[in-house]
Amino acid sequence: MAWQLEWQFCIWLKPLLANNMTTLLIKNGRVIDPANKIDKVTNIFIQDGKIKSVGSQISKADRTLDTKGLIVTPGLIDMHVHLREPGKEDEETITSGVSAAINGGFTSVACMPNTDPAIDNEALAEFVYLQAKRAGKSNVFAIGAVTKGRKGEEISEMGQLYRGGAVGFSDDGESIKNSEVMRRALEYSRMFNKPIINHCEDTDLVRDGVMNEGYISTVLGLSGIPAVAEEIMVYRDITLAKLTQGRLHIAHITTKKSVELVRRAKEESINVTAEVTPHHLILTDDYIRTSNFDTNYKVNPPLRTKTDVQALREALKDGAIDAIVSDHAPHSEEEKDVEFNIAPFGMIGMESLLGVILTELVLKKVITLNRMIEALTVKPAQILGIPKGTLSVGADADITVIDLNKNWEIDPSTFKSKSRNCPFAGWKVKGKAVHTIVKGQVILP
């Protein structure tokens, strides 16, 4: 009978399938997985792209990766990058962006919707996933626009964006100025349990500002962006999150007062999270003066003061700030090689982030290695609600292997990104991703 023939065929096929299973053994590494509170030298066994076991003494595999003396972590996640496709493929594409991600040790990235056209519909969200699949390197997750065309006027079709794979909503690059629109967005996004990620900036206070408003901007004669422009919007958004019980995520936080507002909101159990970039943790507005107006230091929100930097570091250390992101923002050399006033905001960062954070914060004992890994793995995964950032049995085998002792010089000319606007060019750093593994496969950038 047909069912008997089918059953016999399956019995015959089963050993063939078993023989074709791919396995990888990562052995002797110091495994740090904050999600499962693991920090020990052990082995990880991977089968068919999934983590099969952590700690088992397995000796045979199709491939063995000896990571003695190295750090083995869940695959790093950068939840705030700009891949420019569609619309600005001369600056970056999804293909070049995922190569940069792999080179920087990131197995997953979330791309912002400030493309041309904006990612404000289901088809464009699906386009992101299609292009990432074609590239075949890191995972890419789409952030959908909060409003149509990112104009801040009419809420996008969030349900369709969610169906297309959007893991969060943002008009990044533009602040959601209209409080009613922001309120409705927070309410609507609750249906999908996804965050509204806001670029907090009162544009009426910013106007033609190009750097942090303060002593340095006055000395340089440049129009300033006041800290209060960010803080007012952070306060408003937290208040609306409390009202709506929506999920709010503060993008690239930069000021001491903003940190205090987020910390207080968390104490009140308001559903708010925040992220910070390496450049805001390390650089100050004085770099614009000492670099002779290097436009690679022009970023929005702007580099702030030493007081702000110290507050950001403390907040990252104690968890008031949840995640570290690159805010990777590629621009062509032609765009950046102009007067400071007219240059676009933004700097690249996926390929320099790990070395800079390890050198300037971990090795200098500002934060612990485990806290850094937490802020680059499980925390962004939780914020976006994606099944990543863990080495749990059954999880996708996305893994980053880091050599803490690798000394190297940041040279943007060797980057996989199509753009070179990196403020850390020439910095000598210590610590680099040496293997990036996606679904059990060691991926080359």
List the CATH number of the domain containing 117.
3.20.20.140
pLDDT digit string, tens, across residues 282-327: 999 999 999 999 999 999 999 999 999 999 999 999 999 999 999 9
pLDDT digit string, tens, across residues 360-403: 999 999 999 999 999 999 999 999 999 999 999 999 999 999 99
Q: Which residues are CB-neighbours of 13 under 8 A, at least 6 positions away?
A: none
Mean pLDDT on 86-102: 98
Cβ(147)–Cβ(118) under 8 Å?
no
Domain assignment of residue 398, yes or no: no
189-to-78, 112, 349, 381 alpha-carbon distances in Å: 22, 17, 29, 17
Domain assignment of residue 372, yes or no: yes
Mean pLDDT on 197-223: 97
**CA atoms of 315 and 33, how far apart (whole Å):** 21
Residue 197: name the closest of 299, 325, 73, 98 by CA: 325
Q: Which segment of 5-14, 28-37, 154-163, 338-347 scores lowest on mean pLDDT?
A: 5-14
Helix, coil or strand: residue 19: helix
> What's the confidence (pLDDT) of residue 13?
39
Asked if pLDDT for residue 11 goes beyond 50, the answer is no
Rounded to 5, what percent of the chain is helix, strand, coil? 40, 20, 40
In terms of residue numbers, what domain contains 315? 75-392
User: 423 preceded by cis ω (within 30°)?
Assistant: no
Cβ(320)–Cβ(259) under 8 Å?
yes
Domain assignment of residue 247, yes or no: yes
Residue whose entry in the numeric block shows the structure tokens 């997953």? 108
| DSSP-derived pairing of the beta strands 169-170 and 196-198 | parallel
Output DSSP code: residue 121: S
Domain assignment of residue 91, yes or no: yes
Cβ(194)–Cβ(179) under 8 Å?
no
Query: Could you tell me the pLDDT band of residue 8, with boundaries at 50, 70 and 90?
Result: very low
Query: Could you tell me the pLDDT band of residue 250, with boundaries at 50, 70 and 90?
Result: very high
- Integer Rg of the chain from CA: 22
Domain assignment of residue 66, yes or no: no
Domain assignment of residue 33, yes or no: no
Residues with catalytic function: 327
CA angle 195, 200, 204 (to 5 degrees): 145
Domain assignment of residue 41, yes or no: no
Output DSSP code: residue 360: I
**CA atoms of 149 and 170, how far apart (whole Å):** 11
Domain assignment of residue 174, yes or no: yes
Helix, coil or strand: residue 181: helix
444-to-83, 105, 135, 157, 355 alpha-carbon distances in Å: 19, 10, 12, 37, 18
Number of folded domains in the chain? 1
Mean pLDDT on 201-218: 97
pLDDT exceeding 90 applies to what percent of the chain? 94
Q: What average pLDDT does the structure give for the chain? A: 95
The kind and range of the H/E element at 146 are none
